[in-house]
């Protein structure tokens, strides 16, 4: 039997509970990590397609229609939501040019709210990663303390400092510490990695939002000139 299994067999109920908790944390981290990597891979492809269509298609209506055919992603969802907002205020687009400027400001505020909503959606799972990255080492430290306490209790009861007395407690302590780090380190890496992805996606949405509004404003101006 391996030393690790032997130390687990000799651990008390509380120490076992701590190790099980850390195991659950570790499984949660890797589940979030793998699922978000797969999702972000799809999102990156979708964002690339939306930006390419925007650069190639000057007509906003055609751009929106082509974007709807793209796979789901942050930019694709933003364009669909933006189109919904434009449909809501479409009757006002026939108003005077000064009122259209106010309409652009209204859409700008709506787009800002949509960006915040999209960022919150992208941050799903981040709080779990942050919590595990902070708490897992301390939970492991608790297991370490319990192992040391058991060791000293064994020494006091047997009045011996032989390795057979000290070893199990030290082993239990090291296992708990290692389990805590095994859960925390991937959580920290994943949290920082996805924070970077989220920041890049939000910047892409903000950039597209500004360009979208500029193109919409230009379209209003051209429409007004044709009428005059």
Q: In tens digits, what is the pLDDT along the chain, a chain of 228 residues?
A: 455 555 555 566 777 888 899 999 999 999 999 999 999 999 999 999 999 999 998 888 899 999 999 999 999 999 999 888 888 776 655 555 555 667 778 888 888 999 999 999 999 999 999 999 999 999 998 888 877 777 777 666 666 556 555 666 677 778 888 899 999 999 999 999 999 999 999 999 999 999 988 888 787 666 655 555
pTM: 0.79
Instruction: Please indicate, yes or no, if residue 119 is contained in any of the structural domains.
Output: yes
Q: Are 147 and 184 in contact (CB under 8 A)?
A: no
- What angle (nearest 5°) sits at the alpha carbon of residue 227, between those of residues 219 and 98? 60
Instruction: Please indicate, yes or no, if residue 51 is contained in any of the structural domains.
Output: no
Instruction: Please indicate, yes or no, if residue 21 is contained in any of the structural domains.
Output: yes
Query: How many separate domains does the chain show?
Result: 1
CA distance 162 to 111: 70
Instruction: Please indicate, yes or no, if residue 121 is contained in any of the structural domains.
Output: yes
C-alpha to C-alpha distances, 128 to 41, 42, 185, 205, nearest whole angstrom: 21, 22, 14, 25
Range of the structural domain that residue 29 is part of: 13-44+59-223
Q: What is the pLDDT of residue 80?
A: 92
Instruction: Please indicate, yes or no, if residue 6 is contained in any of the structural domains.
Output: no
Q: Are 56 and 66 in contact (CB under 8 A)?
A: no
CA distance 162 to 146: 19
Q: Are 19 and 11 in contact (CB under 8 A)?
A: yes
CA distance 138 to 187: 14
Q: Are 18 and 146 in contact (CB under 8 A)?
A: yes
Instruction: Please indicate, yes or no, if residue 1 is contained in any of the structural domains.
Output: no
Instruction: Please indicate, yes or no, if residue 35 is contained in any of the structural domains.
Output: yes
CA distance 178 to 173: 9
Instruction: Please indicate, yes or no, if residue 49 is contained in any of the structural domains.
Output: no
């Amino acid at each position: 039997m391996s030393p690790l299994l032997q130390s687990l067999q000799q651990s008390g109920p509380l120490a076992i509970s701590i190790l099980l908790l850390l195991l659950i944390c570790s499984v949660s981290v890797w589940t979030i990590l793998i699922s978000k990597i797969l999702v972000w891979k799809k999102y990156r492809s979708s964002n690339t397609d939306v930006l390419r269509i925007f650069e190639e298609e000057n007509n906003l209506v055609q751009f929106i229609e082509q974007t709807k055919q793209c796979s789901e992603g942050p930019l694709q969802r933003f364009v669909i939501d933006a189109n919904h907002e434009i449909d809501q205020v479409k009757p006002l687009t026939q108003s005077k040019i000064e009122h259209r400027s106010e309409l652009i400001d209204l859409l700008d505020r709506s787009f800002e709210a949509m960006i915040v909503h999209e960022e919150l959606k992208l941050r799903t799972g981040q709080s779990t990663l942050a919590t595990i990255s902070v708490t897992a080492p301390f939970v492991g430290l608790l297991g370490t303390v319990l192992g040391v306490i058991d060791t000293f209790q064994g020494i006091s009861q047997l009045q011996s400092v032989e390795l057979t007395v000290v070893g199990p407690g030290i082993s239990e302590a090291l296992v708990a510490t290692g389990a805590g780090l095994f859960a925390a380190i991937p959580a920290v890496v994943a949290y920082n990695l996805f924070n970077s992805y989220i920041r890049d996606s939000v910047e892409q949405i903000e950039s597209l939002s500004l360009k979208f509004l500029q193109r919409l404003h230009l379209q209003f101006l051209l429409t007004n000139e044709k009428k005059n």
